[in-house]
Chains A and B, each alone.
Chain A
Amino acid sequence: AQSVAQPEDQVNVAEGNPLTVKCTYSVSGNPYLFWYVQYPNRGLQFLLKYITGDNLVKGSYGFEAEFNKSQTSFHLKKPSALVSDSALYFCAVSVGWGGGADGLTFGKGTHLIIQP
């Protein structure tokens, strides 16, 4: 079975500082990894994904994430945080080629709070 861990319920960052939201995963097979963001009373919005290729992937709103196979991690990063980045962030994993049909498994989410 696949799983995702987001070890921090909340991350607080001052505006203008770099931010990191952590994610580790477990799958049997090659992973497809995703980050989504959720604003209040809205559905999840896709930020970025890793399927294959370069370990550093860039996404929407200046976010990027680094795939680390040895550490089974996919941390979300941004060089300079904005107050408008405050939201709930979800990491998700599905099994890539050679895997099954378990669908997408989400972490429990991390509240990102950017302080002015």
Chain B
Amino acid sequence: DAGVIQSPRHEVTEMGQEVTLRCKPISGHDYLFWYRQTMMRGLELLIYFNNNVPIDDSGMPEDRFSAKMPNASFSTLKIQPSEPRDSAVYFCASSPRQGLSQPQHFGDGTRLSIL
């Protein structure tokens, strides 16, 4: 079975540009999570969805960040405009119906560098 698929794997762009990160969860999983990993702050939950509906977006750092899940097989995390402090590895994860009691399956991440 295919795991969680994230694209692109690497993204380098200049500050002020719009960045879109993409995620395809495991088929049949009802929960989708977006995380950000940095050396300074570790792994932070940004937002998570249940059945395509955002449940908790309290971790989204600023209005420059937005996330959508238009259907069960696709989600995007958008940063507009991007800033150098947004440089990090962004992970998407999905889990089955039982949600928070079940293990999350992580993609291999998108390494984002904002110059």
Contact = CB atoms under 8 A, between A and B. Distances in A.
A108 B100 contact: no
A51 interface: yes
Interface residues of B, number: 20
Contacts of A104: 33, 45, 100, 104
A43 B100 CA distance: 18
B91 A32 contact: no
Interface in B37-65: 42-43, 45, 48, 55-56, 59
Given A43-B108, A43-B109, A44-B91, A106 B101 contact: no
Interface of A: 32, 34, 36, 41-46, 49, 51, 90, 94-96, 101-109
What are the nearest 4 A-B pairs in CB distance?
A43-B106, A46-B103, A108-B42, A94-B100
Interface of B: 4, 33, 42-43, 45, 48, 55-56, 59, 91, 93, 100-101, 103-109
12 contacts: A32-B101, A34-B103, A42-B109, A44-B104, A46-B103, A46-B105, A49-B103, A101-B100, A102-B56, A103-B48, A103-B59, A105-B45
